[in-house]
Each structure stands twice: as C-alpha cells, then as structure tokens.
Amino acid sequence: MITLEDFYRAYGSFRPLPNDEQREAIEEAPDRPLFIVAGPGSGKTTCLTLRILKLILVDGIPPNGILATTFTVKAAAELRSRILGWGFKLLDLLKEDSQLMPVERARVSRLDLNQVVTGTIDSICEQVLRLHRDPGVQPPVLVDDFVAKTLMLREGLLSSRRFEDPDLDQFLLNVSGGSKWGWNVGAKNNLIQAIWDRRFHDQVGWEKFVEIDEEDDDRSSDDEARRVLSEVISSYENSLTERGFADFAVLEQRLLERLCGGQLTDFLSQIRVVLVDEYQDTNLLQERIYFELAKGCGGALSVVGDDDQSLYRFRGATVGLFRDFADRYRSNFQRAPRKVFLKTNYRSSRSIVDFVNGYAGLDPAYQSVRVVGKPELLPGPVASVGVPVLAMFRPDVQTLGRDLATFIHEVFRGSGVTLPDGTRVERHANGGDLGDCAVLCSSPAEYNGGGDPRLPSVLRSELGAKLPAVEVFNPRGQDLEGIDVVGRFGGLLLECLDPGGLVEQRTSGLAPDVLATFQAWRRLAVNFASGPGRETLLEFAMGWANRDPQRSGWSWPKSVPVLDLVYGLVHFFPELHDDPEGQVYLEVFTRQVGACELIGKFKGRVVTDPTRDPEERGVTLSERSIMELYRTFLGPIASGTIKVNEELMETFPRDRLSILSVHQSKGLEFPLVVVDVGSDFKSNHQAHAFKRFPSRGGPPHSLEDLMRPYTALGPEARSGRDRAFDDLYRQFFVAFSRPQDLLLIVGLDKSRPGGAVRNVGTGWSRDGVCPWQANRPFVEI
Amino acid sequence: MELSKRPATYAMPSYSLTGDLLGFLRCGLQYRYTRIGQLPSSRPVQMWFGQFIHGVLEESFRRFDLARRQGRWELPPWPEPVLEEILTLIKDRLAAQNLFAWSEELERLGDRRATAAVNELGPELFPIIRRAEVRLNGARPLPKEQIPVDCRFREADRYEMVGIVDVISHVELSDPRLQGNRFVQAIQSALPTALPEKFEVIVDYKGRRRPQCTRASDGPNYWDIYGWQLQTYGHLRSRHEDSLPVVAGALLFLNELVPTRSDLKQLRREAREGTTDVAPEPGSETERLLTKWREKDEPLLLPFEFRFARTIRVTPIDEESIVKALSEFDAVVARIETCRGRELQDAKVLSTWEKNPTDESTCTACDARTFCPSCKLETTPILPGIRS
C-alpha cells in the first residue's frame, strides 16, 4: 500500500492539493460513513474522486469494490472521467516514484481502475438485474419515459375514456392547484405518472391509499376518483407486466426486493464502499437501496450533497432524507457518520460569494430546514473581489430584452461595456465568446400561455437583429409541438398519412387540444409544400396521400414502415438532417415511432388493406393502422407529453447565447450569468404568485400531502406554502451561485426590491419583509 | 474586467469496438445519424438472428452453470422439450423489444442453428466457460496528436474503450474432463508456442458465416476488425486481478453449424478459388459430399469435425498484436473525435462527417442516401411500391 503522503505527492504534481475540509472527507477510514455537505463550487466532485482514489491506492480497496452513483447520466460520466483521468495519471507517476518500494510500485501497476462501478442508480439497477439473474428469468426491458407515458395515456387514461371521468378530473385538478389553465390530457397524464412514481419513491402503502368502502352508497367524489385512479394505474401496471417491461420506478423497486430477499449475494459480496452524489435528490426507495447495499459492507456509505440545491421535489426527491441523514443513518447502523462541510467556493468572485451567502440567510423561516450547523460559504484563497452584482430593471419586457441584448452583444461582439464605477467588462481576450454567458430563467419558454413573447423570445429577436447577428440556444424554449419546423414536419406526416383528416375525425381518444394542434400543423404543412421550389416534395406527399407509387407497373405495398415516410420527408428538411439542433427534434419523432413498434398492434406500420378490422366495427385495417399512429405516434407529440432528449445535446455551443432553466444549469458554471428574476411580473397578479411569492403549495406539495400519510415518512409537518417558499429560495440559490465573474439580475421595474411585486428573487422574505429594499446588494445598470 | 473562459466539459467519451468503430468505418455519416443521433434505421441489419443465438447460448450456459455449482454435471445434448423451452424464452424476450424473425423460414433456421449450437458446440464449450457476458472497459489516452487543433473540444485527455465479451473461458490442460475437447485441441494447434498449464481464451460468437480470408470489397475488412477486437479484449481482460494468462481469442461463426444452400454454394466457390482458410481436405469424405451435392437438394449437413473447423477461428494474443490493435483503435477514435469537433464548429452535419461512398451495400440501406452529398444512388426519395 502507498501512504497518504505518497498519494498527495503524486497528486500535487499535476493538481492543487485539496484543502483541509476536503482532506477531512478524503482521509476518513474506508469503513467509516461520511455525510458531506458541499456548497456550490466547493469541489465536491474533486473530493469524491480523491476519496475513491485514496480508497483504492492507500487503503487497498479493490476497484470493483467501489460503487459510486450520481443523479444524471452526464454527472455519472463526469465522475467516471475524473476517476479514470486523474487515476491513470496517478498510476503513471507512482509507477516511476523512486520513493516507493518495488513491491508497492508493482502493486500499483497491476491496478485496474476501470473496474470501479459508476453510474446512475438506474443504470446500476439495470446492470445488476440483468447480470445477476437466475436461469429462466427474463431481464427487464427498461422502457423510457416515452413508452411509459404513452402506455399510461393509452392503457390507463384513454382506455374506457377514463380521462373524462369528472371525479378523477376534479381530484387531479385539486392536486395540480385548481387552475384550468393548460389543463389537458397531457397534464393529467403527467400527474398520474407522478403519482405512480411516488408510489414507489415514497414506498406508499398503495392498497391503503386506494382503499374505498365498496359498501358505502354515499361515496365521496374523492373516493370515486381514487377508484378510477386505481383502475388507471392497474391498467398501466398490467400493460407493463404483460410486455415484460419495467419503468424506472419499477426497476428500482425490483432491485430493492432482490436485495432484501438475499438474492444478490454475488453482487453484494463484491461491494466494499458505497458513495452517493447529489444525495439531496434522493427518495425513500433509493435510501432503502443504499442502506441495504451499505449493510452488505458494514455500513461504509458516504453521501454528498447540498440541501440548498435540492430542486427535484417535483420528481419525487425528499430533501429531508439528506438533511436528516446523520440521524437516519444512526438509527440503522447504530453509529454516527462524520459530518464534513465543504464551504470554500472555488468558482466565484468574492462579491458573488458574499451575495449568495446573503441570499441564503435572507429568509429566517428557511434556516430551520437547512442542515444543522451549516456554515457560510468562504471565497477561495485566490478569489478576486470582482465586480459587484449588477441589476437591470426596465418598464417592460421589450425594453428589458432590447437593453439586455445590447449589453450581451457589446461584451461578446463589441468592445465591452463600461459599468457605472468605470470598470470595463470584456470577453476573454483569447477565445472568449457567447458560450461564456448563460441566461437563466425559471422557465425558458419563449411565449406565455396567452401567446405573448417572453424575455427569451425578445432576446432571440433582438440579438438576431444585431450586426453581427447572434443566435440563441434554447432547446426547451418552446413547447415542442409549437416549434415551426416540428409543425411543418408533423403536418406533412398528417397530410401524407391521412389527407384532409378523414380518419382523424373518426379516431376516438384524441383530446381537443391535440386536434387543434393537428389543425395548425396541417395548415403549416400545406403552406410549406405549396411554396415555390417545392414541387418534388408535393409530388412525394401526394404519392403517399393517394397511396400511389407514381410508377406504372407498380402498386402500393400492403404494409410500409412509417419510418419510410419519416425519412422520405426528412429529405426535404435540411433543418432536420443538417442542423444538430434539428436532429434532436427529429429524434423525438423516430423515438415515438419506436414506442409504436413496441406497443402497437400494427408495430409502427402503415397498412393499406380494405379488409374490415375484426376488432373494431366499421373500420378497415388501413384506417385502424392510421388511428393507431394518431394515438401512439403523433398524438402524444402534439399533446405536449413528449420532450426532447437532452442527452443528445453535446454541450452548449460556444458561438450562441444559451438560455436555460435553472434546473438545467445545476452543476454548471459560466463566467457571466444573467438571472431573470421577474421579467414576467408586471403586477402582483395571483396567477404567477407561485413563481415568486406563493400563497400556498403547488402540485408537488399537494402530492406529498396526499400520499405521505400512507408512507413511513408520515405527513409533512411543514405547510405547503412554506415548502413552496423553501423550493423557490433553493431555485434562486442555485441560479445565483452559477456565475464565476459576473452576476446580472434582470426583471421589470415593478419587481425592484420593495416594489409593487413581492418576489423571492428580489430579496423578499416570506413574511413580507424586503431586506434588499433598504440595502441593495447590487448596482443598477 | 476580463471575463474568464468557461471551462470545457470533462466527460470522457466512451467507444465500443463493435458499436462505434465498426459503425464509423462502415460510414461516418450513417454512424452520426444512427449511433450518436439515435435515429433508428428503417431497414435494420437484421438484429433478431444474432441476438437470438446469443441469447440461447447464454441462457443455456446459465442453466448448465447453475447445475454445475449445485454439483450436477449436465452437459448437452439436451432433450427437445428442454431446448424448446429455452428457444421460446429467448423469442419472448426479443419480442418484448419488438424483434422478430422476418419469416417463418428464418425462424426455423434460427431454431436449428441455436439447437446445434447448444447440442453440438455446448459439450465442447460449456466445460471451459468461466464467465459469460463480461463487461470489459479500459481508459486510454485520447490520441490528441491525431486530431487537428481546431477540432479538439474536450478537456478529458482519455477515452474509454468498452465491450462485452461473450465468454471468458478457463482451461486447465491437466483437467481430465477436457481430454479430447475440440476447443482445447483447436487452441493447441493454433498456438505456435507451448501453452501454460492454466490459461484463458476470449470467445466471441458471431451470428454469421466464416468470412473469406481475402478482401472482397473496399468495405471494412472483417478479419482485421475481428482480430483487433480479440486483441483488445484480451488486453483488457489481462488487467483483471483474477485473470489467468490470456493466450488466444476464438471467434465462433455459428452459421457454419447449419449452413443454408447459399452458404454451401459459396463455400464450394471459395474452396475452388482458394479464398477460404478452411476448405475440405483433398480426397476426404467431406470433399466428396460437397462436390456431389446439388443446389436443388436439401442443404447438406457435413461431418461435425469439418463444421467445427469452419466455425472456430483461433487467433493468438500477443503483445505486438495488442499494440497494433490498440493503435488502430486509437486512429479510428481520432477520426470520430475530429468529425465531432468539426460539427461543433460548423453546426452542420452533412459536411463535417466522413462518408464512405465506395461501399455500395452500406449506402443502399442508408436512410440518408437521398441527401448525402457523397451518395449518387438516389437524389429524391422514392415512393413505396411493389411490382404488380
């Protein structure tokens, strides 16, 4: 074994050595549990990586005995990259280190770091269940959100027209907050999916949850709703089981069951240490998995996270599991973990660190939900003072967008901007570009529900009009179905498959908003295809519409994969086949075709057969195949249920301005960050109170209130309103802690601190006091 | 104040020999669309057959292995009901992923080949299998010097090679149960030097017939690529602490167990032209049977000795070959990274990815053929049609 000194000597030759607080975590004995609370920019991934490498090199833990999980595929890839990247550098150095004994150098040479087990909890579940299965057992076919949502929609909600049940509708509406704005089949489907996921995430006693007294003639609307909900969920569950499918929640549940049932002894015997990153986003099911894994290795569990950065309550995260980790661990393992605070921030200037600290302490009521004893962040030892936090408030979103666009353009395409104190802000002289800037919004949507442009849209047009023009990168900016190229492409698919919508009119299960989208798509497509220079496209489309091969001596095949049509049309869309962003939109269509192939009777094929369908009266097989494509292929896309796969987007383009949601920005950093705290808030309107100063809890809180009484977690003590405030403070904390050099807060005049609009993002505490009013922590420009 | 530059992403790319490298060598643009863009092919190179045979062999080995660990030595051949159950299990598994045999004829052929694989190959193979479906990975320095400076976009200086080995086999020459084992004999005759008492062989199943040993077209040279695959897997496996010396890799071309008419026709031609490395011995019974066979007859099942020789190909694994294989791997990775870098710079796909217009068979099945700048086969999409 090498010593810690040898380890640091090698590491210190290519990286700065860890600080004292990081060393505390790194140097802890391998069998000891750790509770690492890591503030933003504190080198959490570095700390985790070094602990793992120390366990291997100094403590002699075999690489395949280390299991390290994190929340997202990207984070898992980054962690693995660091372990292997730094690890191999260390091995190269240690192999040549003359201060080591030959036997130690030989041991180091033989180490195979590649065998460290890393991944998301889901990828590890899938791997373990597949490799460690008994003969005769089918490995689960993991279906993604796409297929899961499509099945829930089709088998659960649309089946027997359950989506129209008034009791279920009211029940779900209550959970969602009561507003009918945006209330459609897609929204209901998403909520039911969330209930299904929570059933497992929170380990809900499901039978008790859906239990109703069948004898009671005077059943309430709530009871009726639970009955229908239970049917929806059972139908979904059956549809998964029949097909041998598992969604993510089921996958994790299965792993837990096998662990508890003592069936994974081979796998467990290999694991010596478990490390979990982003633990603030964990749920009860995952905690149980981690505790079971830890039991197999004497409690050697280390968790890392930051409760102030817990943003995933809406996906079932329970931040209390992290905050209370020490107690929860102790009651399972009869000893306490070592608590380590990583508080030194290596990312941001002093001004930004001060600002972020101030923000975290702004609301007195928020302090009680934070990890006990959490210290303030400290600026890094070489952090510059930096420029003060800036703010830009304007009367309306058009003016704000115009001035913000000018600011950004001047910095990255011009000669820089001079601040009120005379400081000049310029891009980096050697390759600085728009990729060094990000605009963060709670939602990057370009248009609001009323169709009016929001800040992202104004920025796009203002920057596009500049010289030289600047493009914006905002993949989540518009609802997919509202994007022009998606509409034209979708519309052409519709007109080719079902010209004029004759089959559409006879297709049941299509909600009104979906039909409206189809109509809009068709119009776009017809306009597009009738334009000049589009004759070849028109001919192709007409051929499909008429099922006419347009060659004499040829007839139309009885069954054609719809992918043939998709790729045929793609020929006419360079935006889809030559633009990396368009590729991501195209993948949505092909992915949904894949869902059809998995779960449809016609397997994603266009059938041309006038034979009557034996299963559906008055309908031919041709029509039935088109109906299936409506329900399973184009309908879900048009309903807003389907989102782009962001893992397909490599990285933020250097030459475009990235507009992100705060969630997307988590874990990232940019030299210049613009945070939109209130470009939507022209008044104190109740409709957007939930985004800035909630009067009550939102859907995730209602779901917790609904389901927690049936779980080991018990009912939530904190009110929905308080939880909603807590989540908002966390969201802004994450946003404000992204910048390295410059933070610019933007909003409308009315959102100024102490102004007409109360807004957590402009320094209001939940008791209606605005400390920023008297003491502005920013300089206005 | 001069702003900093945003730190580049740290993610280490991961490349598999079969999925990434082979795909890219077939055609970079097609690889970009299908592998990176995750766009499914409308005419998938039929995945059902390969996955079916793999699945049957893997499941069969699991059963044998479980019995072995419980003290029972139950080698194939197994009775029909047992095989039938396994075949159905795997078909159901593939059906859940929407993979089906495209015809009844193919399904029957699949059944026969899978049965032959278990009942004829199994007795030779199962006793030496130590582990099946083993994940191998290894990080190597990213060949940055082979990537133009303006195309380097990563902070990571390594990449990860990944692969899944079908079988890692463990041979002890003194084991009485292995006396007369055809695998061991094949390995012994392929290796020029003396073997250690205990060693490992990487085994990979291929759901195809044995390739010709001379290059047929400008497409990828399968002998080379399979060779690199074995050398690379051998290298990665040898890094495991529990590995024995990895002396060879063996490819098993499973279609050779039950050849079709067209396979036999091709074999006869290759034997005549000298373009195969395993032909019937002149004057042998096998040669006589093959010469006598007529194409309108039922496909011939030649003696097992010969079919086994056609199925297996052993490649010694040695340092020099490993180094060459790894550097070939590196070179392809550098090409892929260069294309990725170009795409990021230009924000275009068509002009930034290498294409392979000389391999027509790749183009005819490609969904981008109508708009690919290098493919002149079709310039507009053709409407579906069958001759009336």
Q: Are residues A237 and A265 in the same domain?
A: no
pLDDT in tens, chain B (388 residues): 999 999 877 778 999 988 898 889 889 999 999 999 999 888 765 578 889 999 999 999 999 999 999 999 999 999 999 999 999 999 998 888 878 887 888 899 999 999 999 999 999 999 999 988 888 989 899 999 999 999 998 888 889 999 999 999 999 888 888 889 999 999 999 997 888 999 999 999 998 899 887 665 555 577 888 899 999 999 999 988 889 999 999 999 999 999 999 999 999 999 999 989 999 999 999 999 999 999 888 888 999 999 999 999 999 999 999 999 999 999 999 999 999 999 988 989 999 999 977 677 778 888 999 999 998 888 999 999 998 8
- A561 and B10 in contact (C-beta within 8 Å)? no
Total domain count, chain A: 4
| B4 contact residues in A (CB cutoff 8 A) | 428, 436, 671, 740-741
- Averaged over successive runs of 10 residues, the pLDDT of chain A (781 residues) comes to 94 96 96 97 95 97 95 87 92 93 91 93 92 87 84 88 91 88 84 95 94 75 91 95 91 95 90 96 96 95 97 92 96 96 97 97 96 95 94 96 97 95 94 95 85 93 95 82 93 97 92 93 96 95 96 94 96 95 93 88 92 85 95 90 79 87 92 96 86 92 94 94 97 98 96 92 95 94 95
Residue A755 lies in a domain: yes
Is A528 in contact with A496 (CB distance < 8 Å)? no
Of A609, A776, A753, A757, give the one whose Cα is nearest residue A682.
Answer: A757
Smallest CA–CA separation between B134 and chain A, in Å?
A: 9
CA distance linking residue B176 with residue B127, whole number of Å: 11
Q: How many CB atoms lie within 10 A of CB A545?
A: 15
- pLDDT of A246 reads 93
Q: Extract the tokens encoding B285.
A: 């019974």
Q: Is residue A427 part of a domain?
A: no
To the nearest whole Å, the CA of B66 is away from the closest chain A CA by 8
Could you tell me which residues come within 8 angstroms of residue A589 by beta carbon, excluding any fewer than 6 positions away?
A489, A490, A493, A566, A633, A637
Residue A139 belongs to some domain of the structure: no
Q: Is B307 exposed, middle or buried (0-12, 13-18, 19+ CB in 10 A)?
A: buried
Residue extents of the structural domains in chain B:
14-258+301-370
Going A360 to A366 to A367 to A372, the CA torsion angle's sign is negative
Q: Tell whether A532 is covered by a domain.
A: yes
Regarding whether A755 and A688 lie in a shared domain, the answer is yes
Looking at the complex, does the CB of residue B176 fall below 8 Å from at least one CB of chain A? Answer: no
Find which of B1, B2, B3 to mutate to test the A interface (most A CBs within 10 Å of its CB).
B3
Closest chain A CA to residue B373: A578
A510 shares a domain with A414: no
pLDDT in tens, A664-683: 899 899 999 999 999 999 88
The predicted structure's pLDDT at residue A513? 87
- Say if residues B313 and B5 touch (Cβ distance below 8 Å): no
Selected residues 388-417 of chain A with any CB under 8 Å from a CB in chain B: 411
Tell whether A582 and A680 lie within a shared domain: no
Closest chain A C-alpha to B199 CA, distance in angstroms = 18
Joined together, the tokens standing for residue A601 give 């009777």
The answer to whether A18 and A24 have CB atoms below 8 angstroms apart is: no
**Mutation target vs A (from B63, B98, B160, B236; most A CBs, 10 A cutoff):** B98
Together in a domain, A484 and A586: yes
- Judge: B66–A135 Cβ closer than 8 Å, yes or no: yes
Would A442 be classed as within a structural domain? yes
Query: Does residue A358 fall inside a structural domain?
Result: no
Going from the C-alpha of A228 to that of each of A171, A445, A699, the distances in angstroms are: 10, 33, 20
Q: Phi and psi (nearest 5°) for A341?
A: -100, 120
A53 at interface of B, judged by CB pairs closer than 8 A = no
The answer to the question of residue A367 being in a domain is no
Kindly state the DSSP code that residue A324 receives in the 8-state scheme: T
B158 and A431 within 8 Å at the Cβ level: the answer is no
Q: Which of A81, A550, A670 sits opposite B156 (nearest CB)?
A: A81
pLDDT score, position A536:
95
Same-domain pairing of A509 and A588: yes
Are residue A160 and residue A222 in the same domain, yes or no? yes
For residue A392, CA distances in Å to A498, A633, B218 come to 51, 44, 62
Q: Which amino acid is at A514?
A: V
The whole-number pLDDT of residue A322 equals 96
Domain that holds residue A576: 480-639
What pLDDT score was predicted for residue A754?
Answer: 87
Question: What angle separates helix A185-201 from helix A512-529, to the nearest 10 degrees?
Answer: 120
Same domain, A394 and A325: no
A388 burial (CB, 10 Å; 0-12 / 13-18 / 19+) is buried
Residue numbers of B between 348 and 387 with CB closer than 8 Å to A: 348-350, 367-368, 370-371, 380-387
**With a CB-CB cutoff of 8 Å, which residues 57-96 of chain A face chain B?**
62, 74, 77-78, 80-82, 84-85, 88
- The reply to whether A214 falls in a domain is yes
Contact pairs from chain A to chain B, CB under 8 Å: 209
The 3 state secondary structure assigned to A655-702 is CEEEEEEHHHHCCCCEEEEEEEEECCCCCCCHHHHHHCCCCCCCHHHH
B14-258+301-370 maps to CATH 3.90.320: yes
Nearest to A148, CA basis, from A759, A643, A494, A548: A643
Half-sphere exposure of A705 (CA within 13 A, CB side): 19
State the Cα–Cα distance between residues A485 and A326, nearest whole angstrom. Answer: 52
Shared domain for A168 and A283, answered yes or no, is no
Please state, as a whole number, how many other Cβ atoms lie within 10 Å of the Cβ of residue A567: 25
Which residues are bridge partners to B138 per DSSP? B161
pLDDT confidence of residue A642? 82
Closest-CA residue of chain B to A646: B37
Residue B313: strand, helix, or coil: strand
ipTM: 0.87
Reduce the DSSP state of residue A70 to 3 states and report it. Answer: strand
**DSSP labels, B217-286:** SSS--HHHHHHHHHHHHHHHHHTSTTPPPEEEEEEEEGGGGS--HHHHHHHHHHHHHT--S--PPTTSHH
Residues A69 and A130 in one domain: yes
Q: How big is chain A by its Cα radius of gyration, in Å? A: 28
Q: Is A15 on the interface with B (CB under 8 A)?
A: no
What's the CATH code of the domain at A395?
A: 3.40.50
CA distance A571 to chain B (A): 6
Which neighbouring-strand residues pair with B314? B250
CB atoms within 10 A of CB A630: 25
Half-sphere exposure of B132 (CA within 13 A, CB side): 24
Residue A241 C-beta-side C-alpha neighbours within 13 Å: 7
